[in-house]
Every structure is written in C-alpha cells, then in structure tokens.
Structure 1
Amino acid sequence: MRVRVPGAPVFRFGAGFGMRAIRRKGQDMLSWIGLVGGLALLIWLTVRGVNILIAGPVAALVVAVTAGLPLLPPFAEAAGTGTQAGADFATSYMAGFTSFFADWFLMFLLGAIFGEVMAASGAAASVARWITAKLGSKYALLATVLAAAVLTYGGVSVFIVAFSVYSLSVSLFREANLPRRFIPGALAFGSVTFTMTSAGSPEIQNLIPMQYLGTTAYAGWQVSLVVAALMASLGYAWLSRMVRAAVAKGEGFEARGSDDAPEEGRHLPPPLLSLLPLVAVLGVFLTTQSLGKWALLAALSSGIVVAAAVGWQSLRALPGAFSTGATGATIAIANTCAVVGFGSIAQLTPAFAQALGAVQSLPGSPLIGAAVAVTTIAALTGSASGGQTIALPLIAPFYLGQGADPAALHRTVAIASGALDSLPHNGYVVTTIRVVCGETHARAYGAVGATTVVVPTIGLVVALILFSIF
C-alpha cells in the first residue's frame, strides 16, 4: 500500500518552482553573456575591418539567440521567451534599421552632396589656403575643429557636419602636410564633445532631457561652461600632441586618387566668398527652427545652391559631385542603420532590463546612478540619443522622487550620453572613419577614442564633482 505523505504536493510544487527559478537564472546569465559577448564581437569585427553591414546583424544574432528571441516572425511566441511578447529577431532588427533610414536619409543625402560641392567648386580649397596663409599651417588642425564645432553648436546634425567639413579639412591638412588619419579625430572632437552636450546646444542630446525633466536647454549652464572649457582645452591639447608626434616620426599628408587634384594653377573663388556656403547653412538653419529637424533640408539645400554659385567656373564638375555625394550618403546611412538595428535587439533582452534596474539601485548621489545608467545604455546601443531616450522615461521619475535637482540631472545625463557612446561600433564613428574619411579603425580610432571617449568621461567626473559641491 502506498502511503501518501502529507505535504508532498507542496514539496513537489516547491521543487518545480525551484527548477524554474534555476532555469530562469540560467537563461538570464546566458542573456548577459550574449549581450556582453555580442557587443564585444561587434566592436572586434568593426576594428578588424569587417563591413558593418555584416558585423551588425551577426553580433545582433548572437544577442538574440542567447536571449531566447525567436529568429523569424513565424516562430515568435506571444509569451514565455523572456523578451518582449511577440518580438522576433528579423522584424525587430529591421524595424530599428529602417526607422533610422526613414528619419535621416534626406539629411544624409544633402549633407554629403554639400560636402562634395564644396570640394568641386574650389570653395573648400580656397578657405583652407587662406587660413594657412594668414595663420600658418600650425592652425590647420584648429581650423578643422572650429569649423565642426561652429556648425554643431549651430544645430547642424553631427553626421552632416562630418560630410560638410571633410572637404575643407582635406584641403587644410594637405596645405599643412599633416597626416590625414587624424581628420576623423578632429571632426569628431569638434562635433560630439564640448559642443554636442553643452548648455544651449540645439543638438538633440541636449534637448531630449527637457521633456522628461521640465528643464531648458541652458540647464546647469554654470557647470556646463566649466566642463566644456575643460573638454575643449584637454581634447585639443591631446589631439595636437598626437599629430605632432606623428609628424616628428615622418608622417605627412597622403594624397589619394579620389582627392581633388592640388589647386596650383586652378582658379579658386575668393576665400571670404567661399565661406558663404557655410554661413548659408548655419544662417538658414537658425532662422528656420520652427521646422524642427526639417530645417536641415532647407539649410543644406541653400548651402548647395550657394556653393554652386560661388564655384560657377567649375560647373562641369558638379554633376559628378552630386553622384559621388549620393553614393556616399547611401553607404553612410546604411552603416549607421546596421548599428541602430543592433541596439534594437539589445533593448529586448532580459540582461538589458536587468542592467537598467541595477543602476537605479546604486548607492550615493542620484546623479551618479543616472550617469551610469545613461552612459551604459549609450555604450550598448552605440547611440547617445538612444541612451537618453531609453533610460530617461524610467529613471527620471525615480531620481526626481529622490530629490535630484532637475537642472543638474539634465546636464549630467547630457554629458554622460556623450562618453561611452563613441566606442568603435558607434554609428557616427563608423560613418565618419570609414565612409566620410575613407580610413580604418586601426589607423584613425586612437585619436577618436581619446577625444570622444576619454575626454568626455573626464568631463563627466568633473561635472559630478562640481554638482556635489555647489
């Protein structure tokens, strides 16, 4: 006769529950391994020179498989996958890919064409020659950084700034005989550091916190001013030192077949007249702010028209410039979309949700927790704006409830978003190094990483210290 042991059902339930808990912990651990491993794989493949259109989906696939995400829509389950209900790898990856393409393709297109027309018209070369003649070749690096900084603080998208200033920077570096592998570092430093996240900047990285914190674009301006000055001086000194060291080793400008021929003997438009296209872009953009991001279309279109008019004697070269710009824009935005797709998959994993929850429980100042949350998510998604838009809806009410000052939180989040976002897989970094400048990560990322990862991280630490004191 079988004896039924009292409480046995409870014991069996407990064991089953325990096994499910163990399995869930195992799945969560596998998700963590996949998320970290997928990010490491993406960075490694990118640095090794693998096309980002291949590296992005492959790394995202690793993240999806380890998170238990169904690969195709027919396999998607409504629940029980440990990820968002109904999500699948193919649909989610392409949703992130195509959404960025739809939002930004026209801006990429006009920005690339503008840069090519500036080169074909001779305007870029004219400005470069004038700067080097008046200031000396030692200011070629500074001129590149300042040109990028002015456009960025004027509100032109950092992607478009890279296209717009590249032709000018090539001419400047040629005149000064500086190694062209530092052009990506100069463009990135002027665009995504002390200008992008500073008080008053019209870039979205400074505007996103406003809707969640009830602040203005000038929130925390006192600390922002100090941090921006620190980043600008430290970053430029570091970049200049790297360039000088390379020149001392015998490096110089390396011409390419795709470059415009040196300008000796060619009629160039007057230098002040050649500045008008850049002035037109900035002026039209600032006067059409009511159009939102579409103001870029009006601004870039105006810049193209003015650049073509300035270089009317080179009109025969303009059709080729339009074609080259269109091709470059398509490649550039596709590369960026590949990274955005990876971020879309990363957001669906249990590890991503757990990481976000963990940073909210960090002890100490709410500003430290917010900084860690935003910069971590920005690193995982390869996007400063992505780090903010994902984290802020979740952390803003939490930290405001803990008594965090909204202005201090705004500035901390903005600066934090511009630190670890610039790892090698970042869409802007990939586009600027490989598509705009035609360089490799092995040659160019050292300067980019120093000025856009290390320097902003130092700025973030200083900001946290200053906010804790005042």
Structure 2
Amino acid sequence: MLSMIGLIGGLALLIILTMRGMNLLVVAPLCALFVAVLSGMPLFPQLAGEGEVNLIGNYMAGFSGFVAAWFLMFLLGAIFGKVMEDSGAADSVSKWVVTKLGMKKAVLAIVVACAILTYGGVSLFVVAFSVYPMALSLFKQADLPRRFIPAALAFGSVTFTMTSAGSPEIQNWIPIEFLGTSPYAGWEVSLIVAVFMAVFGYWWLKKMITKAASTGERFEAREDDPKVLEKELPNPIAGLIPLVVVLIISFIFHDSLEQSALIVALLGGVIATYLLNRKFFTDFWAAVSGGTLGALIAIGNTAAVVGFGGVAKAVPAFDTAVNAMTNIPGSPLIGGAIAVSVIAGMTGSASGGQAIALPILAPHYMDLGVNPDALHRTVAISSGALDSLPHNGYVVTTVRAICGETHKAAYGAVGALTVIVPLLGLALAIILFSFGLGI
C-alpha cells in the first residue's frame, strides 16, 4: 500500500513541481527519492545486496542507459534543426506554405508549416521557435485570439506527424529496437489515422477559435512581441531538399542499419542544408554549437525522467500496475496502448515512456504472438497522447517560453488537440488492426 502511495505521490509531485517551472534535472531525482523511501528501497548501492535494487543504482542506470542509446540521434536532430533555422531554410519553407495557402487560411498555413518541418525531421522545439513569429503575424492580421497559437503549433507538430509511419522523429524509432520492425510499420493504418487526426483536429481547432472570436475575443498585441526578421532567405526548394534527404536516407538504410539509419539520415540532412544554403548562414558553427547545447538539455531532461522511471519500475507497486494493464480483457493491443500511454503520461515524455515501457512490454506481447508491426504503430501513437499533459517539457516550453501564454489561457485547446485527438486516433488504430488491416 505504501509503495502505491509512493508511486502515485511521486508522479503527482513530479507534475506539480514541473508545472511550477522547476528544473527536471533536480525535480526528477527528488521525486524518485520520494518513491524509493515510501517503498523501502535502499538509497545507496552500499546499503543493498549485490545485484539488488537501490535508488542511486536504478536511477543512474535508467539515466545513462537512455543517453547511451539515443545521444547521437538527439545531437544530430538538434543540430539539423538549428542549421535549418540559422540558414533561414526553415523560415523559407514556412513562408512558402503561408504564401501558397493565403491569409484566409492562416491557421491551416501554420499547421501545415509545422507538419512539413516535423515530418522532415526538424526538432519539435525548433519548429515551434521557427514558426511562432509567422504565426503571431498571421493571427494579428486575421485578428484571431492569440491564446490559440500554442495549440496550432502543437497540433501541427506532435499529433499526426510525430508518431506516423516514416517519421524521422525519435518517437517512431524507439520501438524498432524492441520489436524488430521498421519505421514504416503499420503504414496503412498509420495513414488512415493520420488523415483522421489531421482533419478532425483542424476542424476542432477552427471551431474553438471561431467560438472564441464570436464572443468578442480579439488579438491583443504586446510590447515584447517578436518581429519577423526581413532577411534574404534561401529558395523554398533549397529548404525542402534537406527534409527530403532525411526521409530518403532513412528509408534506404532502415533495413540494414535499423535505428542507426536515423543517424546517417540526420547527418545527411545537415550536410545537404550546408551545401545548398551555405551563403545564407549567419554563423554555421554557432548553429552547430547551439544545436549541441539544445541536444544536451533535451536529452538531459528526458533522461532525468527516464531515471525516475527506472526507480519507479523497480518498486512493487509498478509491477502491480503493469500486470493490471497488461491483463486487460480483449485485444492485447489495448493493454499495450494503455500501459505505454499511462507511463508516458507519468513521465511527461513520449520517448521516455516508450524507453521505460517497451523493455517490459515487448517480450510479454511478442510471446503472446501479437503482430510486431501493429504493436509498433499502436505504441507509437499511444505514446503521443497522455505525454502531452500539462507537465510535458514541450508543452511548458511552447505555451510559456515561446508564446508567452499561461496554462490557464492556452492549455485547454492544447490538451484537446494533443491528448484527446491522439487518443481518438489510437482507438481508431486498434479497431483497424483488430479487423486485420495492415497485418
């Protein structure tokens, strides 16, 4: 009983402290300590028997294991995003989309710009930073309530693109190691689900904005609003080509190199960006350094939460919870989806939730004969649902740091589009797989 209180209390504490803006590198170990103490776990290796669980050992095993497995992907992904940003390639693609769709479809233009950049492998955070100034300008010209900008950015980035088949985002690649699949696993179902989420989510976003505007909400300018910099940008084609290079290389090498194909693909994207847009760089090596720092922060925060999960999954209450979720009657895909989604919600990280859940769930479900492609796609989609609760790092950064909004004003729309819409997409995916589609 105390162990369950510790597990639930530790999660609640993690959410509360993160919502208050505390650093995850500090918060996660503190919350892990809370879980360990209430579960009677020894705090130091010296206080435990050889091979027995302990707070320091389990926390650092989770932390370092995640860094060892994913550092190069985070590093190259962040560098690719920064060189796309510094060269103006990301802005060029975004402005091209906006120009083609026009002012009357301002919200759609923002969503599409984010989707193209995200599916091309640009870091979610870089996409938000890159598209926000243009989103602000469009919302101002269209006189739309600015509190919906975070929802538009998040919807285009973390719903129908991040976890879809073929996406070079890390959330689509983690299952490969545990299931022996490819990034295109379950692509038929993935395509249907992505179209559903895109169409339904856009309709809902427009409905929320229209309703707010009809009650008198208008755009409110602020003194510190960023200006869209008027500098010479590359040709949009030169901005799109590196995104295509990432997708093509990952497709060519995914069978032979598996996860490592993403390293080659992102490196190819960096090289292509430099070769095609080198005269537009403000400072290439400064962009590389900025990407490196961003990668360290991103993987550090995620690994900190994975470390918390490393402690959480070693306490008795965790086994009880996982057993309950994996023995849910009906399709095994339902149990897997619930388990991954709940753990991703606990950790506030889709990638962290997968890294914690899959080593436990994959062998169990593979032994039951579950189709690995179906499990891969179900796990990927489910990880992108409850991970977007208010304490998620991307949500906090986008709502507060980038858009300057409060959770009270902006999170309702963000939560609707990044939690509820993916959950509906997940339900659709399970139904389609249950009827044998894509298997």
> How would you bin the TM-score normalised by the shorter chain?
0.7 to 0.9
Distance (Å, rounded) in 2 between the aligned partners of 1:387 and 1:412: 13
Q: Is the 8 A contact 2:242 2:270 kept in 1?
A: no
Note closer, same or farther for the CA distance 1:330–1:414 as it changes in structure 2 (3 Å cut): closer
**Corresponding residue of 2:34:** 62
Amino acid at match of 2:219: E
The number of equivalent residue pairs is 426
2:66 pairs with 1:100? yes
Deviations 1:244-274 (A, max 9, x none): 55665123565747x5x5335x444444444
What are the ranges of 5 or more consecutive residues in structure 1 without an aligned counterpart? 1-28, 80-84
2:213 pairs with 1:251? no
Note closer, same or farther for the CA distance 1:241–1:217 as it changes in structure 2 (3 Å cut): same
Amino acid at match of 1:90: I
1:250 aligns to what SS in structure 2?
A: coil
Q: Is the 8 A contact 1:281 1:302 kept in 2?
A: no
Matched-pair identity in %: 54
Deviations 1:27-54 (A, max 9, x none): xx11111111111121122223233333
| Structure of higher CA gyration radius | 1
Distance (Å, rounded) in 2 between the aligned partners of 1:103 and 1:43: 26
Q: Is the 8 A contact 1:274 1:310 kept in 2?
A: no
**Corresponding residue of 2:2:** 30
Q: Tell me the CA shift for residue 452 of structure 1.
A: 2.0
1:65 aligns to what SS in structure 2?
A: helix
Q: Is the 8 A contact 2:306 2:355 kept in 1?
A: no
**Corresponding residue of 1:43:** 15
Amino acid at match of 1:48: R
What are the ranges of 5 or more consecutive residues in structure 2 without an aligned counterpart? none
1:177 aligns to what SS in structure 2?
A: helix
**Corresponding residue of 1:292:** 261
Distance (Å, rounded) in 2 between the aligned partners of 1:186 and 1:356: 34
Q: Tell me the CA shift for residue 375 of structure 1.
A: 2.2
Note closer, same or farther for the CA distance 1:184–1:355 as it changes in structure 2 (3 Å cut): same
Deviations 1:364-410 (A, max 9, x none): 33333333233223323434345445545555565566665555444
Deviations 1:104-158 (A, max 9, x none): 455545544554444444444444444433321344443443344345445x3xx
**Corresponding residue of 1:78:** 49
Q: Tell me the CA shift for residue 299 of structure 1.
A: 3.1
* TM-score, length of structure 2 as denominator length: 0.79
1:333 aligns to what SS in structure 2?
A: helix
Deviations 1:202-241 (A, max 9, x none): 5554555566666665555444333222212122222334
Distance (Å, rounded) in 1 between the aligned partners of 2:96 and 2:177: 44
Distance (Å, rounded) in 1 between the aligned partners of 2:194 and 2:293: 35
Distance (Å, rounded) in 2 between the aligned partners of 1:100 and 1:435: 26
2:138 pairs with 1:172? no
Distance (Å, rounded) in 2 between the aligned partners of 1:197 and 1:309: 31
Which runs of structure 2 are paired with 1:148-227 in the superposition (5 Å)?
Answer: 148-154=114-120, 156=121, 160-177=122-139, 182-201=148-167, 205-206=171-172, 219-227=185-193
Q: Is the 8 A contact 1:129 1:175 kept in 2?
A: no
Q: Among residues 95, 103, 106, which one is paired with 1:137 in the alignment?
A: 103
Q: Among residues 274, 277, 288, which one is paired with 1:305 in the alignment?
A: 274
Which runs of structure 2 are paired with 1:107-146 in the superposition (5 Å)?
Answer: 107-146=73-112
2:308 pairs with 1:342? yes
Q: Is the 8 A contact 1:180 1:254 kept in 2?
A: no
Note closer, same or farther for the CA distance 1:38–1:141 as it changes in structure 2 (3 Å cut): same
Q: Tell me the CA shift for residue 78 of structure 1.
A: 1.6
* TM-score, length of structure 1 as denominator length: 0.74
Note closer, same or farther for the CA distance 1:435–1:68 as it changes in structure 2 (3 Å cut): farther
Amino acid at match of 2:123: V
Amino acid at match of 1:162: L
Q: Tell me the CA shift for residue 176 of structure 1.
A: 0.8
Distance (Å, rounded) in 2 between the aligned partners of 1:78 and 1:298: 44
Distance (Å, rounded) in 1 between the aligned partners of 2:284 and 2:266: 19
Q: Among residues 342, 352, 370, which one is paired with 2:336 in the alignment?
A: 370
Q: Tell me the CA shift for residue 340 of structure 1.
A: 2.2
Distance (Å, rounded) in 2 between the aligned partners of 1:175 and 1:432: 17
1:458 aligns to what SS in structure 2?
A: helix
CA RMSD between the two structures:
3.8
**Corresponding residue of 1:24:** none
Q: Is the 8 A contact 2:344 2:354 kept in 1?
A: yes
Q: Among residues 406, 423, 439, which one is paired with 2:389 in the alignment?
A: 423
